[in-house]
Amino acid sequence: MENKVFICMGTSGISAGAEEVEKNFETELKRHKIIDNCLIVRTGDRGLFRDVLVDIETPKLGRITYEFVKPEDVANIVESHFVNGEPIKKFLAGDDYKQFFKSQMRIVLSNCGEIDPEDIDDYLANGGYEALKIAIAMTPREVVEEVTKSQLRGRGGAGFPTGKKWEFCYDVKSDEKYVICNADEGDPGAFMDRSILEGDPQAVIEGMIIAGYAIGANNGIVYCRAEYPLAISRLEIAIEQANERGYLGNNILKSKFSFNITIKKGAGAFVCGEETALIASIEGKRGSPKQRPPFPAKEGLWGKPTIINNVETLANIRHIMVKGADWYSSIGTDDSKGTKVFALAGKVKNTGLVEIPMGTTIRELIYGSGGGMVKKRIPFKAVQIGGPSGGCLPESQLDTPIEYESLNKTGAIMGSGGFVVMDEKTCMVDMARFFQSFTVEESCGKCIPCRVGLKRMLEVLEKITEGNGKAEHIDFLQTISSSIKDTALCALGNTAPNPTLTTLKYFMDEYKSHIEDKKCVANACVDLIEFVVIEENCTKCGRCFKVCPSGAIDWKKKEYAKINNDKCIKCKACIDACDFKAIK
């Protein structure tokens, strides 16, 4: 086909109207009699939240990206771009789009937004299953050694060397072994695994097959949360197509190796992201962790040797096998090789999925792909890295390289890839309370440190944000956090105190303000807020008046706003709307 239309149709694109956009393109291309010479490619999401993203490729104009395309825009785009040969400027992707992708190194995400995830031929045309051919021509031991040599570390959070995990399982003699893909993505705001499964499911399947060949397993299971219906649907299609083409099933590529993949839907329990809890869930038991050792590589699913890798880890395998371990290990730092995918969210101009080389600094990510703060008048305050298990880091830590050891030294962790940027309107004590409430809710309750300790921490944090904090609460939080980290049964408990510990370390002044002065400097803790208008800061713009849901603000043009506290419901809508700190 001379002409192509690429439409991003992952969860993000579909929610913005991509299905209707696709139908309208088909209608308009037929109307102008172009459809026979134009291929519509239904891709996964590319990563940047400017949906619906549409790329049009023609011999005359090359490939051009349109952003924020609505169904009603399609007729004008087709007529102008295809018929008249002139792109419509107001829809063209601008500098923010270019900046978002400029400093990325897309390896895992290379096919996302570029191929049809429901068409195996599209995957094959982009080098798909070449890695499997290479692997099967090697011995299983050689495959394990190649992955070990690449120094790929698990992308699920802990960063354990992937090759070493495979080697442990390879060395165990057993009549049955298993490969599990952990797609139980539970961090708030994380969507890395979902986007990869929606945009490039065959890459994950190929990684699982190679892993199975390497360790001597004939069965694989994808454990994916049921809240990802599109990812599961595309994975099912990909598995079926791989079976039809002989990449799955018996005697793969005419070899003696056989491998099958099934899907297990998880019920959305955060704790089931932990290996032993995940295994228990697959076995039909309550999803709660158990003591290790033995580790799953020696005694896992049904008591058999099992390797568990997350989606991003497995999606790296095909690239390592095709381009070589030396190529992969040349990317990143001495201790953290390759790239890492992050879900960039919060108060930055560009939000979405980014893939950067390990060693990129936090500052480079925020002010590079992120484009800086969304409102320049409201400066950066902190970044939460690693989700509920991670930590909140201040501006003084912005030049920290994004790699496992460097982040661990700050008190944060890499985690699965959550990256939330916060500005001065965020209260760090309230942020610690939020993440603590999440881990309390998601704890399985099996061990006392989690079941009791996290609950006590949350109660104290709630007291502080409500204005009932005491000086001794600081020592209590630090002491109990250390105890929980040392004694909890699994990684959920071991890392759950991190948000509280890092906010205590870097934002102690906010804790003292809450406890000693009964004030929240970010105006976020409702119980500590006295709603008054500071006239010298007020610009008389009326934004607060327009957003107030209870009619508690009196305002007229060219006059200062006034708050009627009898009507005020303390929803903070006025504070969020005011960029001039005129309401306190």
Task: Please state, for a pLDDT cut of 90, what percent of the chain lies above it.
Answer: 83
| pLDDT one-digit tens code per residue, 220-270 | 999 999 999 999 999 999 999 999 999 999 999 999 999 999 999 998 788
Would you state the pLDDT for residue 526? 84
Between vectors from CA 499 to CA 497 and to CA 503, what angle results, nearest 5°?
115
pLDDT attached to residue 1: 63
Q: Of the candidates 352, 350, 395, 388, which has an alpha carbon nearest to the alpha carbon of residue 368?
A: 350
Please give the average per-residue pLDDT across 377-400, as a whole number.
Answer: 93
The pLDDT of residue 215 is above 70 = yes
Domain architecture of the chain: domains with CATH: 3-94 (3.40.30.10), 127-329 (3.40.50.11540), 339-423 (3.10.20.600), 428-517 (1.20.1440.230), 530-584 (3.30.70.20)
| Structure tokens given for 160 | 């354990």
**pLDDT for position 89:** 94
CB 181 within 8 A of CB 310: yes
Quickly state the pLDDT bin for 416 (edges 50, 70, 90).
confident
Say if CB 319 and CB 331 are below 8 A apart. Answer: no
Is the predicted pLDDT of residue 320 greater than 90, yes or no? yes
Whether pLDDT at 157 is above 90: no
pLDDT at 141 over 80: yes
**How would you list the strands of the sheet with 306-310, edge to edge?**
260-266, 219-225, 178-183, 306-310
Burial call 190-221: b when 16+ CB within 10 Å, e when fewer: bbbbbbbbbbbbbbbbbbbbbbbbbbbbebbb
Three-state DSSP class for residue 48: strand
Which among 371, 331, 481, 305 has a CA at the least distance from the CA of 48? Answer: 371
Instruction: Answer yes or no: are the C-beta atoms of 352 and 48 closer than 8 Å.
Output: yes
Q: Which of 472, 413, 461 has the alpha carbon at shortest distance from 434?
A: 461
Half-sphere exposure of 5 (CA within 13 A, CB side): 27
* Torsional class of 17: left (φ above 0), alpha (ψ -120 to 50), beta (otherwise): left
The predicted model gives 266-278 an average pLDDT of 88
Q: What is the pLDDT of residue 15?
A: 95
Q: What percent of the chain has pLDDT over 70?
A: 100
- The residues, ordered by sequence, that sit 6+ positions from 459 with a Cβ below 8 Å of its Cβ are none
| Mean predicted lDDT score pLDDT of the chain | 94
Average pLDDT of span 159-182:
96
pLDDT of residue 570: 85
Q: Where are the alpha helices (DSSP H) in 302-446?
A: 311-323, 325-329, 362-364, 404-410, 428-442
Global pTM reads 0.91
The predicted pLDDT at position 527 comes to 86
Instruction: Flag whether pLDDT at 530 surpasses 80.
Output: no
* pLDDT tens-digit map of 2-55: 899 999 999 999 999 999 999 999 999 999 999 899 999 999 999 998 999 999
Q: How far apart are CA 403 and CA 371, in angstroms?
A: 21
Quote the longest CA-to-CA distance of the chain: 82
pLDDT tier for residue 191 given thresholds of 50, 70 and 90: confident
- Judged against a pLDDT cut of 80, whether residue 67 lies above it is answered with yes
Q: Which residues, at least 6 apart from 497, have a Cβ–Cβ distance to it below 8 Å?
A: 454, 457, 480, 481, 482, 484, 485
Residue 475 pLDDT exceeds 90: yes
Q: Is the pLDDT of residue 128 over 90?
A: yes
